[in-house]
Amino acid sequence: MKLTIDNQLITLDVLRKVWQKPLTVSIGDNAKRRIAEANELVNEVVAGGEQVYGVNTGFGQLASVRIGNDELAHLQANLVRSHSVGVGEDLDDEIVRLTMLMKVVALAEGFSGVRIELVEALCAMINHNIYPCIPSRGSVGASGDLAPLAHMTRALIGEGEVRVGGKIVDAAVALKDAGISPVQLGPKEGLALLNGTQVSTALAVAAVFRTENLMSAAMVAGAMASDAIKGSDTPFDKRIQIVRGHGGQIAVAGVLRGLMHDSDIRASHEACERVQDPYSIRCQPQVVGACLDVLRHVCTVLETEANAVTDNPLVFTDSKSILSGGNFHAEPVALAADYLALAIAEIGALSERRIALLIDSHMSGLPAFLVKDGGLNSGFMMAQVTAAALASENKSHAHPASVDSLPTSANQEDHVSMATYAARRLHEMLDNVLNIVAIELLAAAQGIEFHRPKKSSPVIEQVIGGIREISAAYEEDRSLSKDIRQLAAKVDQGAYCEYAASVLPSLTS
């Protein structure tokens, strides 16, 4: 993908493509003009001797310390080095690529006071697939993602390590091989690069895309489980959803109806004596629909943040003002991530309950634990235990990160967002639910096949065919660990998005 940044809105569907694969990025003429005008104002301030935070002062509680003009470049380089204190495993290249692009978008708005050459150097790193090694831990989400963005910036000045083609190399070597000169930071440039919410936003945006992949598969699995237990599709009737009025509920019910349309199994028991199905079947539109509404809200917040200018101070050329504020505080991202955590946990909780239903012969009408010769074979007994363990883990992970704050920088930064952790922990939660939904897909396919020669809907039969390419029907006890892992990976790659594409925010934006 080729992308020219010229002060336009970067939408979620574009960000999804950036997350999925490398791109070529450039700066448009309008953005170049705005960048240059802001940088000119910074240079005027330096030349005029006016004291401005971050331009010719220290940082944090040291903001009152005046720095001489001959030390300004040294000041910015020291800022980058001193703040490069992240720990833990490195962020994945996809997250780093999103981070770098969003930093380019923010700088290109022309409120940061940096030089065009700096922004173009960051673009060049993206274009050559040079991804700084950014430790995942060490940010409290205010003043922005300081430590992780310092590691990104350190690579830009030719220090630290980067990944190129999956291999870790010295940043100086990678830049030289790509023909990119290390950046000598000018006044305010280090601070403009370090201040910002791009890392926490990138983590949260990537979690949104993975949640879309997961939610699609959860709806498919839910429809399959409904057919496997000979459940009714009447609760998915459009009229029921409309009188309540929630958009997510209406959308999810429509997907479920489409998935189950023309099922022979459903047609075979339309006159049965069962009055109602358990809530995990009957209330899917209400529960998953509410999760979809959460996802849509989170997408709105994160699309705004992905296009936001979040460094400090900000340069306003129209009034020739440099103003210090707090756009670096990532509270919007933290709250959105916490909200999304609840939805992820609920998708997993509902899926686990359907697995428990499928293996319970008294409730499902299927062979106990979905296997012939029960007793000799244990079937899906322990697979449900695994799902229960993962769903229970997510209850703890769902505790809001945003309510926790520890003061930093000698109480100058006395309230922080914890947005980076709030967003990062979403991926562990997603890993858990991907495995839960994979187990449900296996169990539901097994349950449907007990109704042969009757078939489910054409769509569900197609899904079962894909599952059987990974996992054979369960005839006698064997390990399902590899099957679960491979099917979870397939879900994570978006293999089921086609069945719910009409309701996914990033595919309809």
Residue recorded with tokens 């305010």: 188
Q: For strands 2-5 and 24-27, give the pairing.
A: parallel
Q: What's the rounded Cα separation, in Å, for the pair 491 and 439?
A: 11
Beta-bridge mates of residue 135: 90
Among 235, 242, 287, 289, CA closest to 260 = 235
Beta-bridge mates of residue 161: 170
Among 230, 219, 218, CA closest to 276 = 230
- Please state whether the peptide bond connecting residue 313 to the residue before it is cis, i.e. omega within 30 degrees of 0: yes
Give how far Cα 251 sits from Cα of 11, 98, 369, 460, 463, Å.
22, 29, 32, 19, 21
CB 162 within 8 A of CB 171: yes
Q: What's the rounded Cα separation, in Å, for the pair 402 and 185?
A: 33
Structure tokens at 44: 């005027």
CB 101 within 8 A of CB 126: yes
| Segment (H or E) for 107 | helix 93-108
Q: For strands 161-164 and 24-27, give the pairing.
A: unpaired
CB 16 within 8 A of CB 206: no
Amino acid at 399: H
Reduce the DSSP state of residue 308 to 3 states and report it.
coil
Q: Would you list the DSSP string of 133-173?
A: --EEE---SSSSSHHHHHHHHHHHTT-SEEEETTEEEEHHH
Residue 279 appears among annotated catalytic residues: no
Residues 464, 470, 475, 478: is their CA dihedral positive or negative? negative
Residue 69: CB atoms within 10 Å: 11
CA 381 to chain centre: 32
Catalytic one of 53, 421, 474, 499: 53
CB 310 within 8 A of CB 327: yes
Q: Would you list the DSSP string of 17-46?
A: HHHHS--EEEE-HHHHHHHHHHHHHHHHHH
Reduce the DSSP state of residue 365 to 3 states and report it.
coil
Q: Would you list the DSSP string of 384-445?
A: HHHHHHHHHHHHHHTS-STT----BTTTTB-----HHHHHHHHHHHHHHHHHHHHHHHHHHH
- Return the active site residues: 53
